Amino acid sequence: MAMSEISATDQESSEKITIRNVSKAYESTQALEDVSFSVSEGEFCCVVGPSGCGKTTLLRTIAGLDDPDSGSVLVGGDPVTDPGLDRGMVFQEYALFPWRTVRGNVRFGLDRPACECADCEARVRELIDLVGLDGFEDAYPKELSGGMKQRVGIARALAVDPEILLMDEPFGSVDARTRDRLHAELLDIWAQTGQTIVFVTHDIDEAVTLADRVVVMDADPGTVQSTISIGLERPRERTAHDFVDHAAKIRAELGSPADASRYHDFS
């Protein structure tokens, strides 16, 4: 299916991330092909698509961990060539150091010469409180639940106060009840920090729960299928008519015939 613009966010605010004609291949696999879209400053953007559509590759190019074969990624108008402190990343795996406590893992992002010790400690305490882990500062990863581990990962990514938070299916390994709590906590953090968030997921309901706008990707090769604005007030109820309509519309874009007739045209 050719790329179509179902709905786009109002571009009154400045573009924080601009992706222009990005392509990336790994040996014989075309992970991304001519991908273009932008994310506004302070926007919560979810990228959803099937396995193999290049979602993680796209996130890594924004992070500066991978270079595109062609095209460009701009952050604040400047080309991305390397990782930077303006971008924090939360991985699908917990990626915590098992020999470090919660405090030590969060502090890792601040372990650099420019950070004064007293300032670092205050920042670590602030972040641990922000993600709801007060009282677990001295716990090790093996003593934490999956949801708590991911909270540590979020706090560590926030340690340097990045302008952009990149999240690669961060809640994919936790149970549904914990995931719902983490969604609410993440939205609270976003409201407090005003950061730009790009959140990769294969879960359509998760995308509709969180996003201002959803970028729908197709696979083989990875391309942008469409973008869909989610103009619903938060918090969002998954059984509400408008929520179900948005989710069904995304499913239809992903090629699920069973869902194609379940939504109403509200664009």
pLDDT score at 118? 65
Q: Alpha helix locations (H) across the chain?
A: 55-63, 102-108, 117-130, 146-158, 176-193, 204-210, 241-253
Encoded tokens for 68: 């595109």
Query: Half-sphere exposure of residue 156, counting CA atoms within 13 Å on the CB side?
Result: 26
**pLDDT at residue number 117:** 63
Q: Are strands 70-75 and 15-26 parallel, antiparallel or unpaired?
A: antiparallel
Cis, bond preceding 162 (omega within 30 deg of 0): no
What value, to the nearest 5°, has the Cα angle with vertex 128 and ends 126 and 131? 105
Please tell me the distance from the alpha carbon of residue 61 to that of residue 53, in angstroms, as a whole number.
14
> How far apart, in whole angstroms, are the C-alpha atoms of residue 61 and residue 231?
28
266, with CB counted inside 10 A (0-12, 13-18, 19+), is: exposed
CATH 2.60.40.10 fits 15-86+163-254, yes or no: no
Helix, strand, coil percent values for the chain (each to nearest 5)? 35, 25, 40
Region of 138 please: left (phi>0), alpha (psi -120 to 50) or beta: alpha
- Residue 6 near residue 253, CB atoms below 8 Å: yes
Domain segments of the chain as ranges = 15-86+163-254, 93-161
Apex CA 167: angle with CA 43 and CA 87, to 5°?
Answer: 70
The single-letter code of the amino acid at 135 is G
Tokens 């998760």 found at = 206
Residue 73: beta bridge partners? Answer: 19
What is the pLDDT, as a whole number, of residue 80? 97
- How many CB atoms are located within 10 Å of the residue 216 CB? 26
Contact 164, 63 (CB under 8 A): no
Torsional class of 64: left (φ above 0), alpha (ψ -120 to 50), beta (otherwise): left
Position 266, amino acid? F
In order along the chain (267 residues), what is the average pLDDT of each group of 10 residues? 39 80 93 97 97 94 97 97 94 90 90 63 92 95 94 92 95 90 95 96 96 96 96 95 97 70 37
User: Distance between CA 196 and CA 43 in Å, rounded?
Assistant: 5
* Residue found under tokens 């420019």: 114
